[in-house]
A = this chain, B = another copy of it.
Amino acid sequence: MSDSPVKEAPPQDFDALRTAILERKGELPKRLTQVAAYALDHPDEIAFGTAASIALSANVQPSTLVRFAQHFGFDGFSGLQLLFRARLRERTSSYEDRLRTLEQDGAALAESTTIFNGFVAAAHRSIDSISAAVEPDAFERAVTLLAKAETIYLIAKRRSYPISSYMAYAFGKLKVRCQLVGTSAGIDDDMLAMATNRDAAFAISFSPYASESAAQARMMASRGIPVVSLTDSAFSPLAECSAEWFEVVEADHAGFRSLSASMAFAMALTVSIAEKRRRG
Contacts and interface: CB of A to CB of B under 8 A. Distances in A.
B132 A123 contact: no
A88 B254 CA distance: 26
Interface residues of A, number: 77
Main secondary structure on chain A at its contact with chain B?
Answer: helix
B268 A119 contact: yes
A165 interface: yes
A98 B133 CA distance: 10
A98 B101 CA distance: 24
Interface string A108-119: 011111011111
Nearest to A249: B41
Contact of A161 (B159, B169, B234): B169
A187 interface: no
Contacts of A101: 136
Contact of A119 (B140, B166, B264): B264
Given A48-B89, A110-B140, A115-B271, 4 more contacts: A41-B233, A48-B85, A101-B136, A253-B267
